Structure 1
Amino acid sequence: MPLDTLTGPLGIALAAVLGLLIGSFLNVVIHRLPLMLERRWAAECAEMHPATAPSTLPGSGLAAPATAAQAPALNLITPRSRCPACGAGIAWYHNLPLLSYALLRGRCSACAAPIGLRYPLVELLTGIGFAWVMHLHGPGLATLAWMGFVAAVLALAFIDWDTTLLPDDITLPLVWAGLIVAALGWNTIDLGTALWGAVVGYVTLWSIYWAFKLLTGKEGMGYGDFKLLAALGAWLGWQALLPVLLLASVLGAVVGIAMKYSSGLREGGYVPFGPFLAFGGLLALALGPATLLGWIGL
């Protein structure tokens, strides 16, 4: 199909459908990648300190095998998706983005256990993000790159909200991808702007982290936040960092206060910062940094 035919509403609609499909896969990534990392860490710990190896597999509660080769396969493809309540396999026609959730009325087809609203939400957000990228950039390799950016940032946001982890498996490739996209000319910013965006993004939160730790003796955020803001800087440029950081701080404070008064804070009384950085980055992509500064009154 010629690229010219993908301009306008048709291209946007196809991008939205692709986003829905990728969003369904992102739900797998969001759920399984932290478990895969925990297993990797447990295996490394067992190799270095056999006496302290865990007796159960992280994330499963199952007895840990004697060797790594005996461990049940767990990756982004295997095993098949199953209902967490009854363990029934999910047929392909019950795994259609948004549509299956609506037809099943948000319940498992086998045991009628409720399906979390998270699943259609991730699919919907990815579909909207892909459609907006197509609207902004039109068909081409640059659009595919920016779709990858949207997918990675959404996955990081939900993983961090669930686990307070921002995996290097996503953040570091996202930094390098932003620099490569700029070098290839697939971005509106040049390589120098992208490079300084990555540097300033990392150093800014690194400095805030150490200033807070020296003053209070506590850690206010994790190193994953540094890498995420570096990635946003690499893709959006250093000019976007101030509005992204300010918007993330305001939103994080509002949500944190709301959760505190609704007794929704997790143990330790903290709220992960990554989801708000991700939200600010996606808004900067959609609307532009100047619009975000206007919202904040700057």
Structure 2
Amino acid sequence: MSFTHLSSLSFEAILVFALLGLIVGSFINVLIHRLPVMILASEDNPASEFNLMTPRSHCPHCHHRLQWFELIPLFSYVFLKGRCRHCAQSISMRYPVVELVTAALFLLCLHQYGFTLQALAACFFCATLLALAWIDAETFLLPDILTQALLWVGLIGSALSLTHTPLLQSLGGAVLGYGLLWLVSWGFEKLAGKEGMGQGDLKLLAGLGAWVGVWSLLPLILLASISGLIFGIVQKFRGQLGHNGHFAFGPFLALSGFACFFLGISMGA
């Protein structure tokens, strides 16, 4: 797969994508923190007013409402030296890490597609997948609003030639992605007598299939399964796997999805 050398791109294009990545990374942090709370709150209290907009951003320790200069992606964290300026409690490293990773992914999209709409579509893929992977790793949840967005934007992007996957391969990847993982999950449940993976994993693979296409599904599943198996074995020996032996599979699907998307790993043309 061809790449556009960053040296051939204008400084303005690099700056725009880097800043856009930091801003979107800040929003991903909001999704990571609030979506699981919203899902659990809606189950316990359907009338809950907690959402992505309210209440306004505040310190989780002293609940002080943050000012605009405390919300500048990355720079606020550095300026405040990683601590709340009111109660001096430390701010989680997740915030700058997610922002930096998002900026790096956006620059990778620029590197691969140049200053184009295709690059912006790839940025959406990266941002959504990063949010899903992080939420699943922390909470074992894969919010439908994100998996469905990944699926439908992938299909629409394919139809509009904003992705490198032809529409028929995108449709086949979505359908087969859900079906294959459902079959694996069903077989495991019949053999082991317990649920192997949740519906969220199936929806995530369907969304990934819409972006990478049907020919990349098997390599994606194999990469995710092997990396997940290695992780499970390591955690088992470290005594950190948990009593039920479960761990989040979404991050491994996401990492494999990144690999197939950017490296063009595929079984066919």
TM norm. shorter chain > 0.5: yes
**Corresponding residue for 1:225?**
201
Counterpart contact for 1:12–1:135, Cα < 8 Å: no
Q: CA separation in 2, counterparts of 1:194 and 1:9?
A: 34
Q: Distance in 2 between matches of 1:258 and 1:93?
A: 42
* Match of residue 62 from structure 1: none
Pick one of 25, 28, 41 that aligns with 2:43. Answer: 41
Moved more, 126-135 or 248-257: 248-257
- Cα contact 2:21–2:99 (8 A) shared by 1: yes
* RMSD after superposition: 1.9
Does 1:199 pair with 2:175? yes
CA distance in 1, matches of 2:86, 2:155: 47
Contact 1:179–1:191 (Cα < 8 Å) also in 2: yes
Offset, 1:85: 1.3
Could you tell me which residue of structure 2 aligns to residue 286 of structure 1? 262
Q: Which amino acid aligns with 2:106?
A: F
TM-score when normalising by structure 2: 0.90
1:140 aligns with 2:116: yes
Is 1:116 the counterpart of 2:92 in the alignment? yes
Alignment of 1:20-169 (within 5 A): 20-43=22-45, 68=47, 71=48, 73-169=49-145
- Cα distance, 1:144 vs structure 2: 1.9
The offset of 1:108, in angstroms, is 1.7
Partner of 1:240: 216
Sort the Cα spacing of 1:159 and 1:8 in 2 relative to 1 into closer, same or farther, 3 A: same
Deviation at 1:175, TM superposition (A): 0.9
- Aligned position for 1:10: 12
TM-score, normalization by structure 1: 0.82
Structure 2 Cα separation of the partners of residues 218 and 166 of structure 1: 20
Please, which runs of 5 or more residues in structure 1 have no aligned partner?
A: 1-5, 45-67, 294-298
Give deviations 1:6-47, integer Å, cap 9, x for gaps: 944431332111011110111011110111122222245xxx
Q: Using the alignment, how far apart are the partners of 1:9 and 1:279 within structure 2?
A: 29
Greater radius of gyration (CA):
1
Among all aligned residue pairs of Structure 1 and Structure 2, give the percentage whose two residues are the same amino acid. 47
Q: State the 1:140 CA deviation.
A: 2.7
Map Cα deviations across residues 34-69 of structure 1 (whole Å, 9 max, x no partner): 11122222245xxxxxxxxxxxxxxxxxxxxxxx3x
Structure 2 CA distance for partners of 1:243 and 1:83, relative to 1, 3 Å: same
In structure 2, the CA distance between the partners of 1:34 and 1:267, relative to structure 1 (3 Å rule), is: farther
Deviation, 1:258, is: 2.7
CA distance in 1, matches of 2:169, 2:235: 37
How many Å separate the matches in 2 of 1:103 and 1:27?
A: 19
Q: Report the equivalent of 1:56.
A: none
Looking at structure 1, the residues matched to 198 and 227 of structure 2 have their Cα atoms a distance apart, in angstroms, of: 18
List alignment gaps of at least 5 residues for structure 2.
Answer: 1-7
Counterpart amino acid of residue 12 in structure 1: I
**Structure 1 residue matching 2:60: 3-state secondary structure:** coil
195-204 or 133-142, which moves further after superposition? 133-142
**Residue identity opposite 1:177 in structure 2:** V
Q: Which moved more, 1:267-276 or 1:213-222?
A: 267-276
Q: Which amino acid letter does the alignment assign opposite residue 108 of structure 1?
A: C
Deviations 1:198-235 (A, max 9, x none): 11111111010011011111111111111111111101
Choose 205-214 or 81-90, whichever is displaced more. Answer: 81-90
Report if the CA contact (8 A) 1:13-1:131 is conserved.
no
The 8 Å contact of residues 26 and 122 in structure 1, kept in 2 or not, is answered as yes
Aligned residue pair count: 260
Cα offsets for 1:163-193 (capped at 9, x unmatched): 1111111111211111111111112221101
Deviations 1:128-176 (A, max 9, x none): 1111111111223222222111111111111111111111111112111
1:183 to 152, 159, 163: 159
